[in-house]
């Protein structure tokens, strides 16, 4: 049986030239209708690729074989580039407090890279059963100074997890990002108990995750709420316009916007600039400086090419 009408769908998974597409709020088909789709050959997307999280119009729906064709792409709100995911509303940066050990410079790189997307960014600390309560409090204080109210979780205690789950259900489309082995998929399996995605212990020898998750995939939490699991990776220093960087650090933009400090030059990079009035006595300043210098060398080098 073929159905000729057009319908709105959400891309939940992508492999080679195939896409899994869930029909969105469709009365005729009910929920949970999932179709294997290819992009219609005749259309020209002008090098526009389709990613997980994209909304698409599907056509030529075949209810028996569960196949359909992607006819067009709905303009997207935003696009994360690593990994490629569209239309994210909330980024959850996930790090374990131990096994693998917490690397503050990596935490910072993930946070700053996430902030550059312009959506709400949160920090989740997993495996808190492996540290003392005192150490946990110290970490909470540290990240509060960075501008984040960290969510601390562990597999044994469910109180914080319940709050976290309630929060996720309020968000449209959240993504879990962080290094390998920190427990992203473990968390996802707790969020959606019917799911049994593969997780793996951290390697004893190299004390790192084993890159267990290989695909970006989007899952439905509740009616209008989705979550994306991603493969773990380590973040390199970024290549973005250095002039944007001060806006991504709360310790800096709070001084500029809330406290109204003014440096001599409007485009002050807050390094050794003449007439800089930024109070640099905050913990992340060394990370800021390091990032700014590496951005500057990349950016100006590429401009000369
Ligand atoms: N002690 C402890 N171990 C945990 C916790 N959460 C996850 N783990 C363990 O950490 C290991 C790695 O978990 P995964 O969920 O596979 O990690 P991941 O972030 O998805 O890793 P990749 O898919 O490689 O990116 C598993 O052995 C989990 O059982 C926790 O709260 N406490
Ligand atoms: Mg995983
Ligand atoms: Zn300055």
Domains and CATH numbers, the chain: 2-75 (2.40.50.140), 80-229 (3.40.50.300), 242-304 (no CATH)
pLDDT of residue 2: 53
Instruction: State whether the Cα torsion 126-129-135-136 is positive or negative.
Output: positive
pLDDT of residue 5: 57
How many other CB atoms sit within 10 Å of the CB of residue 140? 15
pLDDT of residue 157: 75
User: How many angstroms is it from 214 CA to the middle of ligand 2?
Assistant: 8
Q: Are 93 and 61 in contact (CB under 8 A)?
A: no
Please state, in angstroms and as integers, the Cα–Cα distance from residue 159 to each residue in 163, 166, 194, 291, following that order.
7, 11, 20, 37
Task: Using a CB cutoff of 5 Å, list residues around ligand 2, an ion.
Answer: 184-185, 212-213
Q: Are 287 and 235 in contact (CB under 8 A)?
A: no
CA distance 187 to 124: 10
Closest residue by Cα to atom 10, ligand 1, is 183
CA distance 301 to 305: 7
DSSP for residue 258: I
Going through 185-275 in order, the beta strands assigned E by DSSP cover: 217-222, 225-229
DSSP for residue 205: T
Closest residue by Cα to atom 30, ligand 1, is 127
Closest residue by Cα to atom 8, ligand 1, is 183
User: How many angstroms is it from 261 CA to the middle of ligand 3?
Assistant: 9
Q: What is the pLDDT along the chain (305 residues), one digit of tens a residue?
A: 555 556 999 999 998 889 999 998 665 555 568 999 999 875 556 556 899 999 999 999 998 999 999 998 999 999 998 899 999 999 999 999 999 999 999 999 999 999 999 999 999 999 999 999 999 999 999 999 999 999 999 988 788 999 999 999 999 999 999 999 999 999 999 999 999 899 999 988 778 898 999 999 999 998 889 999 999 999 887 666 778 899 999 999 999 988 899 999 988 999 988 999 999 999 999 999 998 888 777 766 666 55
pLDDT of residue 195: 92
Ligand 1: residues with CB < 6 A are: 126-127, 129-130, 154-155, 180-186, 199-202, 209-213, 231-232
pLDDT of residue 28: 57
């Amino acid at each position: 049986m073929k159905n000729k009408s057009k319908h709105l769908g959400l891309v939940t998974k992508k492999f080679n030239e195939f896409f899994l597409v869930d029909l969105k709020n469709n009365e005729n088909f009910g929920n949970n209708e999932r179709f294997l789709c290819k992009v219609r050959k005749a259309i020209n997307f002008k090098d526009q690729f389709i990613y997980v999280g994209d909304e698409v119009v599907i056509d030529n729906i075949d209810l028996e074989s569960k196949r359909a064709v992607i006819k067009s792409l709905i303009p997207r709100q935003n696009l994360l580039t690593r990994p490629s995911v569209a239309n994210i509303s909330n980024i959850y940066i996930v790090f374990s407090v131990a096994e693998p050990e917490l690397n503050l410079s990596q935490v910072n790189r993930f946070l700053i890279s996430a902030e550059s997307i312009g959506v709400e960014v949160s920090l989740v600390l997993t495996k808190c059963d492996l540290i003392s309560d005192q150490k946990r409090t110290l970490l909470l204080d540290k990240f509060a100074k960075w501008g984040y109210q960290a969510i601390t979780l562990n597999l044994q205690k469910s109180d914080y997890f319940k709050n976290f789950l309630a929060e996720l259900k309020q968000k449209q489309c959240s993504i879990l990002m962080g290094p390998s082995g920190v427990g992203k998929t473990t968390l996802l399996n707790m969020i959606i108990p019917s799911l049994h995605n593969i997780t793996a212990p951290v390697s004893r020898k190299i004390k790192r995750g084993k890159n267990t998750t290989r695909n970006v995939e989007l899952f439905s939490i509740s009616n209008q709420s989705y979550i994306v699991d991603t493969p773990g990776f380590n973040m390199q220093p970024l290549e973005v316009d250095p002039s944007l960087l001060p806006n991504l650090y709360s310790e800096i933009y709070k001084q500029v916007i809330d406290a109204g400090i003014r440096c001599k030059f409007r485009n002050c990079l807050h390094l050794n600039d003449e007439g800089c009035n930024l109070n640099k006595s905050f913990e992340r300043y060394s990370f800021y400086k390091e990032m700014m210098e590496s951005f500057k060398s990349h950016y100006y080098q590429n401009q000369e090419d």
